[in-house]
């Protein structure tokens, strides 16, 4: 049975759950985690399988994004208020077992307060959470795995000075997930001293020169080196030195470098045929044997996969991608499509690196703006500003629909603000005619209030 259970709401964090599952599979192995999409065979009763896995998991990672708390069904009822809601059932079962339940906070979302949660999952508010940032996704996941002690499941049985002095942790015991502190700094200082000593001893015996880390040219061997590869030295800057291996003997395959200049922080896989060799994120270099490789986006088709040929003696440089910046005044999410193919999504005002080509941008959960097309060119930034904000100061908790012609755009309840694309809209009571419907006009950059 899997040791880690990933709980998420599809309307809130489906993409992040998939990315986290892929990263944890790489770090821990497929058998060490459970996610409903991948972990349930066709034809099986998913209720029974989820119940079984919850009885055997050691850790639950509860992904909480901007729409997790207030996600509603087709009738406007909050999903968490339904005792049959699967996310609520998963959390209630895990909290009842008193295992480690970690609120994994996405896009700066805070942990819900006890008053915002049903009684059977209110303990979630008191569980120490962990922030996963889009810009530092891989390093954040590795840090979370380390702090939970999950890396010890696959690591060799060696004990570092930091671990040797730490008291054992039992399931259900609260622990600190903060990323700074005196103890953490002291452990980092000890690691620097030990790393420097090992580096000096190896250099003395091998006679080879070690490459010193610089913040201008970071590498991330922890994400790309197989578990059975030679150890590496890591300093406090998070920059990895040259692996502690002697030069390759004569007759071994020659090594050259691939330099992929990608303008975003998205990750990309390197394949040799059908075999995935490694992956990197953003603009990075990777040493490779001579041969033909295929590069493709890791978590989404942010660019069309392409082949590169690595030759001996000189680095192969690839420059691809432009940046699309969408300045949207709300926190609504939007999809990026290449034709009919989903590429990526972002929320609010964000930037996204994309391969050259034509794309369609449309609202992810609601048509809050009319879909539009953009053209991306390599090395070029494309900016689009759209949308105004409508604020309805309604003194009650009643819900109200926003209509564009006969099409429902979205709904809100009580006093709320909603970003909308430029155009004319009708506002009317959702479940009852508690007010006479009225019309508003939204212009880009405008603020419209009623009454």
What pLDDT is recorded for position 137? 85
CA distances from 74 to 363, 410, 411, 417, 418 (A): 18, 11, 11, 21, 19
What pLDDT is recorded for position 199? 42
CB atoms within 10 A of CB 408: 15
Q: Which two tokens stand for residue 243?
A: 């692996």
Place of tokens 């985690």: 33
What is the helix (H) or strand (E) element at residue 358, kind and residue range? strand 357-363
Could you give phi then psi for residue 47, rounded to 5 degrees?
Answer: -65, -45
What pLDDT is recorded for position 217? 35
Task: Report yes or no: 402 and 379 within 8 Å, Cβ to Cβ.
Answer: no
CATH class (in words) of the domain with range 255-319: mainly beta
The candidate with the shortest Cα–Cα distance to 346, out of 367, 368, 324, is 324
The candidate with the shortest Cα–Cα distance to 129, out of 78, 68, 73, is 68
What pLDDT is recorded for position 435? 96
Read out DSSP for 105-129? Answer: EETTPPPPPGGGS-GGGGGGGGS--
Task: Report yes or no: 439 and 419 within 8 Å, Cβ to Cβ.
Answer: no
With vertex at residue 6, the alpha carbon angle to CA 77 and CA 72, rounded to the nearest 5 degrees, is 10
Q: Which residues contact 380 (CB under 8 A, 6 or more apart)?
A: 322, 323
Cα distance between residue 258 and residue 271, in whole Å: 13
Q: Which two tokens stand for residue 9?
A: 């709401």
Query: How many alpha carbons lie under 13 Å from residue 99 in its C-beta half-sphere?
Result: 20
CATH class (in words) of the domain with range 322-385: mainly beta
Task: Report yes or no: 90 and 7 within 8 Å, Cβ to Cβ.
Answer: yes
What pLDDT is recorded for position 220? 39
The candidate with the shortest Cα–Cα distance to 284, out of 227, 223, 336, is 223
What pLDDT is recorded for position 296? 94
Cα distance between residue 155 and residue 160, in whole Å: 12
CA dihedral 411, 417, 422, 428 (to 10 degrees): 40
What pLDDT is recorded for position 133? 85
What pLDDT is recorded for position 54? 78
What is the helix (H) or strand (E) element at residue 316, kind and residue range? strand 316-319
Whether the model pTM is above 0.75: no
Residues of the chain with confidence (pLDDT) below 70? 1-2, 36-49, 151-254
Q: Which residues contact 67 (CB under 8 A, 6 or more apart)?
A: 9, 11, 12, 365
CATH topology of domain 4-164: Rossmann fold (3.40.50)
Cα distance between residue 187 and residue 177, in whole Å: 15
Task: Report yes or no: 323 and 382 within 8 Å, Cβ to Cβ.
Answer: yes
CB atoms within 10 A of CB 274: 6
Q: Which residues contact 409 (CB under 8 A, 6 or more apart)?
A: 366, 367, 368, 401, 402, 403, 420, 425
Could you give phi then psi for residue 299, rounded to 5 degrees?
Answer: -100, -5
Q: Which two tokens stand for residue 23?
A: 């990263």
């Amino acid at each position: 049975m899997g040791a880690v259970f990933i709980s998420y709401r599809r309307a809130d964090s489906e993409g992040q759950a998939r990315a986290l599952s892929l990263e944890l599979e790489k770090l821990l192995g497929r058998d060490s985690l459970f996610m409903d999409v991948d972990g349930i065979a066709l034809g099986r009763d998913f209720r029974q399988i989820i119940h079984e896995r919850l009885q055997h998991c050691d850790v639950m990672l509860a992904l909480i994004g901007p729409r997790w708390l207030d996600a509603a069904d087709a009738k406007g009822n909050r999903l968490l208020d339904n005792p049959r809601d699967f996310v609520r059932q998963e959390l209630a079962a895990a909290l009842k077992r008193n295992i480690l339940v970690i609120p994994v906070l996405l896009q700066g979302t805070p942990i819900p307060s006890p008053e915002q949660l049903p009684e059977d999952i209110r303990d979630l508010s008191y569980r120490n959470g962990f922030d996963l940032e889009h810009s530092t996704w891989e390093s954040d996941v590795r840090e979370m795995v380390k702090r939970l002690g999950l890396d010890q499941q696959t690591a060799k049985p060696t004990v570092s000075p930091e671990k040797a002095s730490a008291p054992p942790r039992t399931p259900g015991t609260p622990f600190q997930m903060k990323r700074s502190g005196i103890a953490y700094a002291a452990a980092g200082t000890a690691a620097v001293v030990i790393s420097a000593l090992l580096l000096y001893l190896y250099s003395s015996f091998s006679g080879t020169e070690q490459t010193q880390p610089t913040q201008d040219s970071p590498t991330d061997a922890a994400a790309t080196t197989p578990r059975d590869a030679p150890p590496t030295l890591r300093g406090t800057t998070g920059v990895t030195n040259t692996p502690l291996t002697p030069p390759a003997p004569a007759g071994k395959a020659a090594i050259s470098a691939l330099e992929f200049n990608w303008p975003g922080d998205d990750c990309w896989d390197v394949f040799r045929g059908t075999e995935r060799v490694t992956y990197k994120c953003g603009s990075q270099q990777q040493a490779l044997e001579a041969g033909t490789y295929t590069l493709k986006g890791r978590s989404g088709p942010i660019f069309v996969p392409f082949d590169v040929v690595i030759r001996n003696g000189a680095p192969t440089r690839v420059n691809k991608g432009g940046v699309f910046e969408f300045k949207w005044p709300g926190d609504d999410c939007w999809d990026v499509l290449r034709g009919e193919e989903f590429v990526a999504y972002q929320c609010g005002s964000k930037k996204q690196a994309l391969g050259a080509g034509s794309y369609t941008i449309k609202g992810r959960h609601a048509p809050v703006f009319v879909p539009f097309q953009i053209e991306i060119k390599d090395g070029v930034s494309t900016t689009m500003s759209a949308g105004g904000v409508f604020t309805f100061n309604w003194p009650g908790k009643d819900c109200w629909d926003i209509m564009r012609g006969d099409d429902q755009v979205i709904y809100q309840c009580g006093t709320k603000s909603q970003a909308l694309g430029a155009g004319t809209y009708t506002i009317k009571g959702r479940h009852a005619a508690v007010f006479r419907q009225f019309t508003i006009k939204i212009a880009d950059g405008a603020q419209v209030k009623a009454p």
